[in-house]
């Protein structure tokens, strides 16, 4: 059990360092192995979230765990709502093509040039920069993301390209606390 906790901590730390390094440059067309897309089943309903603004620029978002012990949240992408699974194992935000179009992000087949691994196997994704993402009072601008075809991604993933830009992300007592 202890070695599993140490390994999980090392993976999260490596993901944060990797995302910050990669954000400094555009990604090369190399496989994004850490993009573990959930693709096997339809997305469960979003668990209840409470949004609490704090003093100054700080804000907190509390997300209750769903029945499957995962954390789901509604986030605005370019001011359009979309459902997300919080996934610290995903290096980037991963967005379904239909949700990207709803947010005013349009891609062509030629844009799908970055190889990624998903739960359904390897596929190609489009690499984009989202103007902004917002969860409650937390707003992050210029978020790096992959767009995948809907048949390759059953639920959007809130990955480290968003999470690493927050002040903190903390899981405790069946809830996830985001501070930004």
Q: Is the confidence at residue 140, as pLDDT, over 90?
A: yes
175, containing H or E segment: strand 175-179
Looking at residue 27, its pLDDT comes to 52
Q: Provide mean pLDDT across the span 115-137.
A: 91
Task: Round to whole Å and give the CA distance between 35 and 22.
Answer: 14
User: pTM higher than 0.75, yes or no?
Assistant: no
The average confidence (pLDDT) of the chain is 78
The confidence score (pLDDT) of residue 28 equals: 41
pLDDT tens-digit readout, 38-95: 443 444 444 444 444 443 447 999 999 999 999 999 999 999 999 999 999 999 999 9
> Would residue 119 be called left, alpha or beta, if left means φ above 0 and alpha means ψ between -120 and 50 degrees?
alpha
With H, G, I as helix, E, B as strand and everything else as coil, classify residue 96.
Answer: strand
pLDDT tens per residue, range 81-108: 999 999 999 999 999 999 999 999 999 9
């Amino acid at each position: 059990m202890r070695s599993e906790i140490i390994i999980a901590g090392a993976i999260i730390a490596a993901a944060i360092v990797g995302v910050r390094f990669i954000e400094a440059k555009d990604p090369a067309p190399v496989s994004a192995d850490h993009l573990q897309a959930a693709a096997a089943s339809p997305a469960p309903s979003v668990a209840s979230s409470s949004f609490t603004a704090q003093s100054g620029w700080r804000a907190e978002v509390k997300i209750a765990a769903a029945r499957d012990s995962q954390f789901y949240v509604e986030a605005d992408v370019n001011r359009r709502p979309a459902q997300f699974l919080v996934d610290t194992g995903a290096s980037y935000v991963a967005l379904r093509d239909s949700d990207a179009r709803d947010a005013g992000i349009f891609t062509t087949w030629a844009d799908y040039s970055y190889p990624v691994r998903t739960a359904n196997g390897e596929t190609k994704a489009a690499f984009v920069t989202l103007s902004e993402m917002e969860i409650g009072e937390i707003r992050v601008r210029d978020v790096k993301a992959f767009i995948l075809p809907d048949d390759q991604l059953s639920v959007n993933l809130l990955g480290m390209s968003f999470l690493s830009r927050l002040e903190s992300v903390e899981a405790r007592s069946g809830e996830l606390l985001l501070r930004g």
